[in-house]
C-alpha cells in the first residue's frame, strides 16, 4: 500500500492515435490497464487520444455534450474499473459555436466520477516549411486555469501548446505536479519539447508529466512523442521516444521539499 501523502505513483500513456475512435479507445484501454497493473494511481492520456482525423473538422463531427457521450463514458468506466485517477488527455466537447469544439481535459476519480474539467486556453498555430496548423479554426479557447486535488497532491492541468506560456503555470502555482497531455508536431517537438517541459518544472519547482502522441499516424501526420516525467530540479526521470507505451514513476514529497528548501525561488517571487 502506497503512503500517498509522501509518494504517488503516476503514469503517462503514449499513443499513435488513428482515425477511428473505437480503435483508439481499445488502445487506450490496454495501456491504462498496463499502467494500473504496474501500480499507478494517476494515469494520464495524451491530447487527442480519441482521434487524430484526416481533417481538422473530424473532431467537430464526434463532439459530445458536456457530461454525455461514449468518450466520456469510456473514461469514467476505465477510472472505476482500475480504481485510478484518470486524466483523459482531451475530448472534443460541444461549444456555443457549432463549427467549433472545446478541447477539454477531463479528470475522473477512482469511483468513476468526474472531478475536474479544463478547456485548453492557448490554441496552436504554425506556418513553417510547408506545415500549417490553425486550431482556432475548429476550437474555441477556454479561459479558466484549473487545479485538481488528488488527496494531498495538487495537480495543475494544461494541454500541449499551453506549455509555451509560463504565465499560465504561475497562475496555477504552487502545485506538486503539472500535466501536459500533448500532440506536438515532429518539427516543433524536436526543437522545443524537452526544453519547454524542463523549464516549466524548474521555474515552478514541481514535477511535470507529459504524455504525448508519438509516431507516424494513419492520416500521414508525424508527432514527436518523447513522453516524459521530469522532477522539480528539471531532471528527466523517464522518457519514451516513440511508439505506444507507458512512462511511469513516483512523485516524492521529500524531493519537492528538498528542492524548494535548497533554492527557495517560489518564496523569492516579487511579481
235 labelled catalytic: no
In this structure, are residues 45 and 67 in contact, taking their beta carbons and an 8 Å threshold? no
Active site residue 242: no
Torsion of CA 81, 148, 234, 164, to 10 degrees: 110
Catalytic residue (one of 9, 59, 120, 148): 120
Query: Contact 240/247 with Cβ under 8 angstroms?
Result: yes
- Residue in 47, 64, 135, 242 annotated catalytic: 47
Cβ(134)–Cβ(92) below 8 Å: no
Is 47 a known active-site residue? yes
Interatomic CA distance for residues 83 and 81, integer angstroms: 6
Catalytic one among 64, 160, 206, 244?
160
Beta bridge partners of 210: 228
Helices of type H across 83-135: none
Catalytic residue positions, numbered = 47, 120, 160
Amino acid at each position: 500500500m502506497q503512503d500517498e501523502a509522501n509518494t504517488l505513483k503516476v503514469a503517462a500513456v503514449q499513443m499513435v492515435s488513428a482515425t477511428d475512435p473505437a480503435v483508439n479507445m481499445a488502445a487506450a484501454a490496454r495501456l491504462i490497464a498496463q499502467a494500473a497493473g504496474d501500480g499507478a494511481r494517476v494515469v494520464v492520456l495524451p491530447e487527442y487520444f480519441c482521434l487524430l482525423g484526416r481533417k481538422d473538422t473530424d473532431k467537430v463531427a464526434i463532439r459530445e455534450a458536456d457530461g454525455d457521450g461514449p468518450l466520456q463514458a469510456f473514461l469514467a468506466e476505465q477510472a472505476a474499473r482500475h480504481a485510478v485517477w484518470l486524466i483523459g488527455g482531451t475530448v472534443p466537447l460541444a461549444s456555443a459555436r457549432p463549427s467549433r469544439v472545446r478541447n477539454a481535459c477531463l479528470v475522473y476519480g477512482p469511483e468513476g466520477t468526474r472531478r475536474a474539467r479544463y478547456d485548453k486556453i492557448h490554441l496552436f498555430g504554425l506556418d513553417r516549411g510547408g506545415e500549417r496548423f490553425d486550431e482556432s479554426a475548429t476550437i474555441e479557447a477556454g479561459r479558466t486555469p484549473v487545479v485538481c486535488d488528488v488527496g494531498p497532491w495538487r495537480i495543475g492541468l494544461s494541454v500541449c501548446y499551453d506549455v509555451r506560456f509560463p504565465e499560465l503555470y504561475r497562475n496555477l502555482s504552487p502545485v506538486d505536479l503539472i500535466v501536459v497531455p500533448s500532440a506536438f508536431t515532429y518539427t516543433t517537438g524536436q526543437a522545443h519539447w524537452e526544453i519547454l517541459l524542463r523549464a516549466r518544472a524548474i521555474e515552478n519547482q514541481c514535477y511535470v508529466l507529459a504524455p504525448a502522441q508519438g509516431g507516424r499516424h494513419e492520416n500521414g501526420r508525424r508527432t514527436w512523442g518523447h513522453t516524459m516525467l521530469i522532477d522539480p530540479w528539471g531532471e528527466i526521470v523517464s522518457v519514451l521516444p516513440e511508439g505506444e507505451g507507458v512512462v511511469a514513476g513516483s512523485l516524492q514529497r521529500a524531493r519537492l521539499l528538498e528542492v524548494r528548501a535548497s533554492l527557495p525561488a517560489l518564496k523569492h517571487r516579487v511579481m
